[in-house]
Amino acid sequence: MIRWSADRPAIVWATSAAILLAGGVALTRLPVATRPEVELPRLEIASAWPGAAPELVESYVTAPIEDAVQGVRGVHKVSSTSSDGFAELTVELEPNADVELARLNILERLELLRKGFPAGASPPAVSNYVPDDLREQPLLTYVVSGPYTPGALARIVDREVKPSLDAVPGVAGTSRQGGAERMVSVTYDPGRLQEMGLTPQALIDALRIARVVRPVGLERLGPSERPVVIKDQPTTVEDLNELPVRGNGGLTFRLGDLASVRMDEDAQGFFFRLNGQSAVALSVQRQAGADAIQTAAAVRRAMAAVGKNLPVGVALSLFNDTSQELARQLDDLFLRGGIAFAAVLLVL
C-alpha cells in the first residue's frame, strides 16, 4: 500500500484534497448546539377550551382527538387527561415507528378534525416528548424592565416583543416569566353584608353562575354535524356590577351595590425588579436541528430592531446567552486543531 501510494502521488494528493473539501463543506452545514436532537417514540397533544368544564372538554375535545389518533399507523397507546378548559394527550408509538412520519399523519388527522371543534377551542398542538433531564436550556434570556406596572410590562412583551422573536428562523418558541395578569377585583365590607343577611358565598355564587358554557344540541350541515354550545359571560366591569345576588326572603341585590368591582393586576405572589423598576424575563428556545450560534445572532438582531420601537423607558438587557460559551469552545477547538495540524506537518 505504501509503495503503491509512493508511485502515484497525484492520486494521493487528489484524494486528500477531496476529503478536506468534503469535511469543510460538512462543517459549515453541520448545526451546532449544546445537546443533540432528541427523538423518542412518544408525542404530546394539547388543546385549550377556556371556560369549559372537564366533562365538556372530555366529550367535545379529548374524545374526538383520541378517535382520530388511534387510527394512525404506528400508534401503540393513547392516554389523556381532561381538566377545566384544557385537554392533554400522550401518544406512545411502536418502538420501531418513524416519529416524524407519525407526527405528520396525526397532524393531517387533526386538520380534518378541526372543522368540528367547538367554538372557542384552540387547535390541537402536537410536540415531541423530551424528558426533563434531556431538555435543553433556553438559548437566550432577556430581561425587559421599565417604569410601568407588572401587568403593563407583561402586555408590552406579549404584544410587541414575542411576535417578533417567534418569527425568527430557528426559534421554537418564547416564554415569559414574571409580570402580572389583568383580573377583576371584588372588594366587599363584611359588616355591610351581615346587616343585609348575606354571606360572602352569595357573592361567589353570583360570580360563578355569571359565565355559562352549555351544550344545547347538534347542528346538521349535509352529511356532517357539529355541536352547538351556548357561551355567555360578562365582558365589562359594568356587566359585573349588574349581576344579581340572591338574598334571604327572595330579595335580589346588585353586585355593584354590595361590593367594589374594579380592574386589578394579579402577580400571583411573584415580584421581579431590576434597578428598582418592574422587570419581566423572556426566554428563547432553539428549534431542534437549528444552529445555536446562528439562531442566537438572528435573535440579537431582532431584539435590537424591536428595542427601537418600544415605549419610552423600556429597556432590554441580555441576561444569558448560551451560544457565547459554545462559540468560545469552538474557537478553542479550532485553535487546538490548527496547532496540532501544524505540528504534524512540521514532524512530517
- Model pLDDT for residues 111-152, shown as the tens digit of each residue: 887 777 776 677 787 877 766 665 677 888 999 998 888 888
pTM for the complete prediction?
0.58
Report the pLDDT averaged over residues 219-227: 74
Rounded to whole angstroms, the Cα distance separating 114 from 123 reads 7
Rounded to whole angstroms, the Cα distance separating 219 from 115 reads 13
Q: Is the pLDDT of residue 339 over 90?
A: yes
- Per residue, the 3-state secondary structure of the chain, as one string, reads CHHHHHHCHHHHHHHHHHHHHHHHHHHHHCCCCCCCCCCCCEEEEEEECCCCCHHHHHHHHHHHHHHHHHCCCCEEEEEEEEECCEEEEEEEECCCCCHHHHHHHHHHHHHHHHHHCCCCCCCCEEEECCCHHHCCCCCEEEEEEECCCHHHHHHHHHHHHHHHHHCCCCEEEEEEEECCEEEEEEEECHHHHHHCCCCHHHHHHHHHCCCEEEEEEEEEECCEEEEEEEEECCCCHHHHHCCEEECHHHCEEEHHHHEEEEEEEECCCCCCEECCEEEEEEEEEECCCCCHHHHHHHHHHHHHHHHCCCCCCCEEEEEEEHHHHHHHHHHHHHHHHHHHHHHHHHHC
Half-sphere exposure for 230 (CA within 13 Å, toward CB): 8
Q: How large a percentage of the chain has pLDDT more than 90?
A: 4
75-99 pLDDT, tens digit per residue, is: 888 899 988 888 999 888 888 888 7
Rounded to whole angstroms, the Cα distance separating 55 from 60 reads 9
Report the pLDDT averaged over residues 310-336: 87
Take residue 319 and report the three cell numbers written for it. 441576561
Banded pLDDT at 219 (limits 50, 70, 90): confident
Report the pLDDT averaged over residues 240-268: 79
| pLDDT of 49 | 81
